[in-house]
Chains A and B, each alone.
Chain A
Amino acid sequence: MRHAIYLFLTLTAFWLLNSGHFSALMLSLGLGSILLVLFIAHRMDVVDHESQLVHLSPKLPSYFFWLLKELILANISVVKHIWLGNHSISPALTTVKASQKTDVGKVIYANSITLTPGTITVDLVGDRITVHALSQDNIQALETGEMDRRVSQVVN
């Protein structure tokens, strides 16, 4: 029920921000649409703790900014590799461990890895994440486990 309320609130915000029309007709149509979507989502069984991220929000912004910093650094390095040419890269396949307990945590970690250019999550089995990296530096950065630690903080 809690998740349904969260979903209802986010959907309302989504509708209002998209619509920008506040006549009675539009608002009632919006309400009807949201209820219909809630009903279908309930039938599809997609409303649960996995899809509603509200319970991990307080630490999300700080993680987000840290990720942004990493993102910019990673972008610069990959762009450098692009312009330097093929001899500067040494692609590698490696496996790192995800210490998050929940599936959502693992997914956030895996997606953060993919989001930073230079590393791509190729596979996620259990708590082992297979990563394809553009160069050895990326792998070393990943193996320090800082991202892993930060994601764990956000989720738990």
Chain B
Amino acid sequence: MDVAIEIMSAICLLIGSFLCISGGVGILRFPDFYTRMHAVGVTDTLGAGMILIGLMLQSQDILIIAKLVMVLLMTLFINPTASHALAKAAIHNGLKPVLGNKECNHTESESSSR
């Protein structure tokens, strides 16, 4: 039983770490601000969630689990709001997204020169 929980927790931590590193690579690799936000989204939702669930499996104390749940809820609750706020501020201040469509080649060439 204990071993099973240990293994599950390890798997959760592993998946979480992998997702976080993927997000970290994404934030460096993606071409512009808006796409980078998607990469951050990966680390903030499932990455953080998996790591916190992995920690929850390791603890026995109900208070600690409660606090971890609180951290998780706050992460899921706050981060989309913060991301939205950020994206909104960016677009209102005239930061143009790089778009994949044909009609927007103009913006793409402009921003790729950065």
Contact = CB atoms under 8 A, between A and B. Distances in A.
Q: Do chains A and B touch in the complex (CB under 8 A)?
A: yes
Interface in B76-111: 76-77, 79-81, 83-84, 87-88, 91-92, 97-101
A90 B45 contact: no
Contacts of A119: 38
A77 B23 CA distance: 12
A120 B32 CA distance: 14
A145 interface: no
B87 A132 contact: yes
Contacts of B34: 91, 120, 122, 132
A85 interface: yes
By DSSP majority rule, is chain B's interface helix, strand, loop, or mixed?
A: helix
B11 interface: no
Is the interface on chain A under 10, 10 to 19, 20 to 34, or 35 or more residues? 35 or more
B80 A78 contact: no
A121 interface: yes
B19 A79 contact: yes
A17 B77 CA distance: 19
Is the interface on chain B under 10, 10 to 19, 20 to 34, or 35 or more residues? 35 or more
Contact of A120 (B87, B98, B101): B87
Interface in B33-47: 34-35, 37-39, 41-42, 45-46
B100 A114 contact: no
A118 B25 contact: no
Contact of A122 (B29, B91, B100): B91
A115 interface: yes
Contact of A75 (B46, B76, B97): B46
A123 interface: yes
A35 interface: no
B87 A78 contact: no
B26 A82 contact: yes
A118 B41 contact: yes
Interface of B: 19, 22-23, 25-26, 29-32, 34-35, 37-39, 41-42, 45-46, 63, 66-67, 70, 76-77, 79-81, 83-84, 87-88, 91-92, 97-101
Q: 10 smallest A-B Cβ distances: which pairs?
A: A90-B100, A114-B80, A117-B41, A82-B26, A17-B66, A75-B46, A111-B80, A20-B63, A115-B80, A79-B22
Interface of A: 14, 17-18, 20, 71-72, 75, 78-79, 81-83, 85-86, 89-93, 110-112, 114-123, 130, 132, 134-136
